[in-house]
Amino acid sequence: MRFEIEAYPQGGLKVIPLIPDVGPICEIEGRNGIGKSVALRLLQLCSGNQPYGNDPDSWATLREQLGPTVVRAIGLRDGETVVWRLNPEVWKETPEPVGAWLGTVEIDGAQARLEDAQRLIQVVHHSGDLTLEGTIRARIARDRSEVGVIRRRFGDREQGIGLHLDALRRDLERADYHQLSALAARADEARARAAEEAVAVENARAGRAAVERAMELREQQRRLREDVPELEARERGLDQEIAEAGAELRRVEQRYNELRAQRRRDEAVVTQIEEVEKAISGRARRAEAARERAAQSAAVLGLSDDRQVVERELARLRAERDELVRERDLIDATPRVRQLVDDLSTRLDTQRAHDLDEQVIAVLADEAVTVRELRGGVKARREELGEYEPEPTSATLAARIQSLTTRAARLSTLVELMTKASRAQELVAESQAQLAELTAQLPAEEAAEFQQIEQALSAARARHLSLVESRAVVRGKITEIVGGGAEEGARELEQLLGALGSDENSLEEVLAARAAELETRLREQALASVALTEAQRQLQLARAEFEQAVAILEGGDDYGWLRSDGIELPSSDLSEEENGERLTRLRSVVAELERRFDGARETLRALDGALDAWASPDRAGERMTPTGESVRRHYERVFGTELSSQDIVKAIFDAGEFVALDLASMVVSWRTEDGELRTRPLAAFSSGERAFAYTRTRLQAIGSQARNTVVALDEFGAFLARDRLKQLVSFLEHDVLGTIANEVIIVLPLIRDYEAELDETTGGLHQELAERVAELRSNGYFARPPDWLVV
Amino acid sequence: MADADFQEARERAEPLLADVALDRAELELIFSLVEAGDEETWLRERLADALRD
């Protein structure tokens, strides 16, 4: 077969244009630098092998300087012709394994694939100038290149997979069921603690209330002992005085009636006076009754019969109640939150709000929330709050608030009573003024008589009223003191003191202690309440995240690819627990897969580094890694097997037995036929020994499946100084041609001075040498069948 | 890169990978991924297998 290379390289790069068909073994002999090796490497590239894998600089030079090139292999075993059209401009920047980027291929004029051409022809390039050490390192470099192919493909694929895994992991992390369960447990704990603290507050409050009650009862008993007898005596005295004042009033009224009866000259005025007086009498009774009720009510409430005092007390009560309402809301804001949520829900459910569904209404931690999302969240919260039950503490406070409200209502009623009494008094005063006007219409003497008796009547009524008021106050005070009963109070006080373990004189100290205890418990309860609110908030957030993740995995566009092959994904139809289990399993396998990816990536990276270090002669420091050690063991075993082959052992190990290769020091040890153990650095073997032994081994290792295999032996100058040429040619003819390859190309430097020999030769030999000289002059090389033995 | 070339690279590299550093699971992961046709299908099947296990 013959090879033609049509190239127009620039920048000093050269490539020989022709390898003629001179027979199964073709010797190419020529000057250095004319492009013999470049031609062989191009053929190697065309047959799919990357010869520059460990030499990126030479690859860059070839890529930049070669230019568009056509390579032809003509006259293959079955007469085929293969043409490669190469365009180095689009070649890979680094010497990557050969792919479609190399160029186009035609087989017998028809477009074909690179693989088709490779099945037809393989060119195996073997360099004879490699040292044993260099051969080993080149082999490692080649393996690194192969691993690099795997690594790059793996990296490319992993990038795509990684995007899916990242997104999946992020969404699964949002749906952390363990975290959700933990938060639910924490919320339960916080709720339990809040309930405990509420009970503790309740107990403390009850404790303080018991002391306060005991003090009230103690005071009641004191007043029962000291005040009530006096009050009752006073009441009896007042009863007597009222009776006397009543009798006096009736006497005055009698005198008045008699006077009116005597003065009937002007009936109209007297009749009017009589009517007004009746009105005054009725109004005075009603005013007295109102004053009596107001005075007694004020006394029962422990207040003086003074409207300003009552109003101040009412204001104080209301302020205290408001303070307690604030305290209740601080501990349990749920009622107010529920109200707010209800308001929000109503507003968000209007048509106007629905029209704005996709608009952003809030931004939470960089995440925009639409009207629709907010409505859903508020609805969910509203449903939660629908199950709200007030905590015991709130109930206690509510009771206290209720008590204050009740007392405030009674005070309010008292104010109304006072207002009525005041109004009734005003009416009495109006009637009295009217009476005075009527009386003035009488003759002066009569008027004086009427005025005198009216004044006496008014004074009698005032005195009666005053006494009635005083008695009402006394009665009210007695009622206030006696309360539920004097004996019951004494029994209750005795029981309370027993329960408190105290006597009456120590109640102030006990009260101070109980008040301090209540204060402490209130602080603890407030802390527990805050903790509960926070735990519930976190739980709600986690649950919202969880539910969102379930929804995304169940129906989100990003996970369409995941919904088949029977993968058990979460579903809104399932329970939270079942979804949690599914998500946890999925999260676990995603994590395991990521872990494996990490491991594989790291292993490939470490292997690449180790291979690079072992392929280089001067990077010993980078080999001292676990992977570097594994690489060393691997290659010592691999090369050990190859160096143990019969040919090698016979050629360079004294026909003995190979023992070991130390890859780090590049030293081999073997045992001679006599059993002597020898060691020698690989560099110490002669080039002839190395080349022959390794050439044989490497050629025998060729496993080409192509229909046409060409072995190109390059840089075989080492053979020329030795008689191994005969051995090599014999080996090629008998063991290579026909079994390993169907053609061999041997490339040699110019080994003789043919021009000088021309004058010394004659006949056919002279003619042959003259042709070689002519070809050398025109092309720089010539190609012939091997003639080392004949020429 | 042509599949044939990749297969060749795999055949050469696999003994080294297997011998030097990788356990079988890692090796299987690498080659199954680099030979996969569609990444999403590969990932889904992988997750499905793992979930079944």
Q: Does B18 touch chain A (CB under 8 A)?
A: no
Per-residue confidence (pLDDT) for residue A789, from 0 to 100: 39
Give CA–CA dist A433/B15, Å, rounded: 128
User: What stretches of A277-418 adopt beta strand conformation (E)?
Assistant: 360-364, 367-370
Which residues does chain A have with pLDDT short of 70? 128-130, 264-267, 387-396, 647, 651, 686-694, 696-698, 700-704, 716-727, 787-791
To the nearest whole Å, the CA of B18 is away from the closest chain A CA by 10
Per-residue confidence (pLDDT) for residue A684, from 0 to 100: 75
To the nearest whole Å, the CA of A8 is away from the closest chain B CA by 27
Per-residue confidence (pLDDT) for residue A693, from 0 to 100: 66
Per-residue confidence (pLDDT) for residue A495, from 0 to 100: 93
Per-residue confidence (pLDDT) for residue A348, from 0 to 100: 85
Contact A696, A703 (CB under 8 A): no
Q: Which chain B residues are closer than 8 Å to A599 by Cβ?
A: 26
CB contact under 8 A, A565 and B45: yes
Enter the tokens of residue A553. 């995995």
To the nearest whole Å, the CA of A152 is away from the closest chain B CA by 9
* Residue of A153, A625, A642 to mutate for B, most B C-beta atoms under 10 A: A153
Q: Does B38 touch chain A (CB under 8 A)?
A: no
pLDDT digits (tens, 9 = 90+) for B1-53: 456 667 777 777 888 888 886 678 888 888 888 888 888 999 999 998 888 87
CB contact under 8 A, A165 and B43: yes
Query: Helices (H), strands (E): how many in chain A?
Result: 23, 16
Q: Does A109 touch chain B (CB under 8 A)?
A: no
Nearest residue to A443 (alpha-carbon basis) of A451, A435, A433: A451
Give CA–CA dist A250/A637, Å, rounded: 141
Domains observed in chain A: 1-127+706-791 (3.40.50), 182-332+390-521 (no CATH)
For A468-504, the DSSP string reads: HHHHHHHHHHHHHHHTT-HHHHHHHHHHHHHHHT--G
Q: Which chain B residues are closer than 8 Å to A600 by Cβ?
A: 22, 26, 29-30
Contact A21, A73 (CB under 8 A): no
| Phi-psi group of A273: left, alpha or beta (phi > 0 → left; psi -120 to 50 → alpha; rest → beta) | alpha
Check residue A389 and report its DSSP letter.
Answer: -
Per-residue confidence (pLDDT) for residue A722, from 0 to 100: 45
Nearest to B2 among A115, A567, A592 (CB): A115
Q: Which chain A residues are closer than 8 Å to B21 by Cβ?
A: 603, 606-607, 627, 630
Give CA–CA dist B9/A784, Å, rounded: 36
pLDDT digits (tens, 9 = 90+) for A88-140: 999 988 888 888 899 999 999 999 999 899 889 999 887 766 677 877 887 88
Nearest to B47 among A115, A142, A567 (CB): A567
